[in-house]
């Protein structure tokens, strides 16, 4: 059978693919940032084309520690370029789009305050002090970072929105790929379709899918940030009771967050929903062996 697999013919890629790529590379930036609302695939192509056009243009120029800012609506405190250390602020009726070098774009929503922190090979970093941004990044993983008062969003090749309120509380919602939300050694891996809250001095909470039950989402907030033993206990009870197969995303993260006495309950609920895969030792999982947890996560992730 392996010989038969090796003998499978390669299919020839249609010439039209390169033609489309070239068209994207040649497309002028003007006109792509405005206009009608296209279908999702066309929207991706337009966004990618805009990003590529900016990227190619950037590649032909000496590198600068500045990003382009385009006003979309209203008045901005800054437009044209934003440099390291500078702030950009939108009011209640203004929006902006930032081209982050040649790796992606950030849409800045109304009532948002952001600061460019770093722009250098290996690190593009933005601080979101308050408000909301939507980022679309097509760079190698761990190159683009968004700091908020409560956590840092590390791009793993994705698109997402990040909100921060006046108190610094954050909400990450991932729409494509994965984001790692990190703070002082605490980490949440958030896939497309999932969200994660964060709080100052606590860091990221536990990620959950947006289609999880409201009861689970509320209980998780109580568990993560509610404080006090009763909140922890009742929160965990509800999360375990309402978890679906897909919510093993949440349960897997909880394994290392609950008290040792409760870990067995979380473990039991996961394997109720998805049988323990080969190679994952129950003992090592309960001891939070990093390699075992990683292997288990990789298997569970096929259900996420």
Partner 1 sequence: MVAGLSDREITADIIESCRQGDRDAFRALYEAYKDKVYSIALYFFHGDETAASDMTQQVFLKLIHGIAQFRGDAGFSTWLYRLVVNACMDGARRAKPRELAASPDAVDGLAGPDSQEQDFAREQTARSVRTALSALPVKFRLPILLRYFEDLSYGEMAAAMNCSMGTVASRLNRGHKMLARKLESLR
Q: What is the CA radius of gyration of the chain?
A: 22
Is 10 among the residues that bind partner 1 (CB under 8 A)?
Answer: yes
* DSSP string computed for 115-159: EEEEEETTEEEEEEEEEEEEEEE-SSSSSEEEE-SS-EEEEEEEE
Of the candidates 64, 151, 164, 155, which has an alpha carbon nearest to the alpha carbon of residue 116? 64
Is 192 among the residues that bind partner 1 (CB under 8 A)?
Answer: yes
Q: Which is nearer to partner 1, 25 or 288 (CB)?
A: 25
Position among 91, 184, 210, 298 found at the interface with partner 1 (CB under 8 A): 298
Span near partner 1 by CB under 8 A; candidates 73-81, 84-92, 137-145, 230-238: 137-145
Residues between 15 and 44 with contacts to partner 1, criterion CB under 8 A = 16-18, 20-21, 24-25, 41, 44
d(CA 294, CA 286): 13
Is 80 among the residues that bind partner 1 (CB under 8 A)?
Answer: no
Is 60 among the residues that bind partner 1 (CB under 8 A)?
Answer: yes
Residues between 143 and 182 with contacts to partner 1, criterion CB under 8 A = 143, 157, 176-177
Span near partner 1 by CB under 8 A; candidates 51-59, 77-85, 166-174, 197-205: 51-59
Q: Which is nearer to partner 1, 201 or 302 (CB)?
A: 302
d(CA 249, CA 304): 7
Q: Which is nearer to partner 1, 24 or 111 (CB)?
A: 24
Number of residues that bind partner 1 (CB under 8 A): 53
d(CA 224, CA 220): 6
Position among 36, 37, 229, 278 found at the interface with partner 1 (CB under 8 A): 278
Q: Which is nearer to partner 1, 95 or 297 (CB)?
A: 297
Pairing of strands 123-137, 144-147: parallel
* Smallest separation (angstroms) from partner 1 to the CB of 123: 10
d(CA 212, CA 248): 11
d(CA 264, CA 121): 44
Please enumerate in sequence order all residues whose Cβ is within 8 A of that of 225, keeping only pairs 6 or more positions apart, or say none: 197, 199, 202, 205
Phi, psi dihedral angles at 8 (to 5 degrees): -65, 135
Of the candidates 262, 211, 192, which has an alpha carbon nearest to the alpha carbon of residue 251? 262
* Smallest separation (angstroms) from partner 1 to the CB of 67: 14
* Smallest separation (angstroms) from partner 1 to the CB of 199: 28
Position among 35, 36, 48, 165 found at the interface with partner 1 (CB under 8 A): 48
Phi, psi dihedral angles at 215 (to 5 degrees): -60, -45
Is 188 among the residues that bind partner 1 (CB under 8 A)?
Answer: no
Count CA atoms within 13 Å of residue 156 on its CB side: 15
Q: Which is nearer to partner 1, 79 or 297 (CB)?
A: 297
CA 171 to chain centre: 10
Query: Which residues make up the interface to partner 1 (CB under 8 A)?
Result: 1-2, 4-14, 16-18, 20-21, 24-25, 41, 44-45, 48-49, 51-52, 55-56, 58-60, 102-103, 121-122, 138-140, 143, 157, 176-177, 192-193, 278-279, 291, 294-295, 298-299, 302
């Amino acid at each position: 059978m392996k010989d038969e697999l090796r003998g499978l013919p390669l299919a020839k890629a249609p010439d039209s693919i390169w033609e489309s790529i070239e068209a994207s590379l040649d497309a002028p930036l003007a006109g792509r940032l405005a206009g009608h609302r296209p279908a999702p695939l066309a929207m991706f192509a337009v966004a990618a084309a805009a990003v590529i056009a900016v990227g190619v243009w950037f590649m032909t120029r000496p590198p600068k520690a500045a990003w382009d800012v385009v006003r979309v609506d209203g008045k901005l405190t800054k437009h044209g370029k934003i440099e390291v250390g500078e702030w950009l602020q939108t009011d209640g009726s203004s929006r902006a789009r930032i081209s982050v070098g040649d790796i992606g774009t950030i849409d800045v929503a109304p009532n948002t305050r952001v600061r460019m922190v770093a722009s250098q090979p290996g690190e593009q970093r933005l601080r979101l002090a308050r408000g909301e941004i939507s980022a679309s990044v097509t760079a190698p993983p761990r190159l683009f970072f968004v700091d908020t008062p409560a956590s840092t969003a590390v791009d793993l090749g994705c698109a997402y929105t990040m909100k921060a309120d006046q108190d610094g509380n954050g909400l990450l919602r991932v729409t494509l790929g994965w984001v790692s939300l990190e703070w002082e050694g605490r980490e949440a891996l958030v896939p497309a379709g999932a969200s994660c809250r964060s709080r100052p001095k606590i860091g990221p909470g536990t990620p959950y899918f947006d289609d999880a039950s409201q009861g689970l989402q509320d209980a998780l907030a109580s568990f993560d940030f509610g404080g006090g033993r009763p909140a922890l206990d009742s929160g965990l009870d509800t999360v375990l009771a309402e978890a679906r197969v897909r919510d093993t995303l949440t349960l897997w993260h909880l394994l290392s967050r609950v008290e040792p006495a409760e870990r067995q309950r979380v473990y039991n609920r996961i394997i109720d929903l998805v049988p323990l895969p080969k190679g994952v030792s129950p003992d090592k999982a309960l001891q939070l062996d990093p390699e075992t947890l990683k292997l288990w996560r990789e298997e569970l992730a096929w259900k996420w």
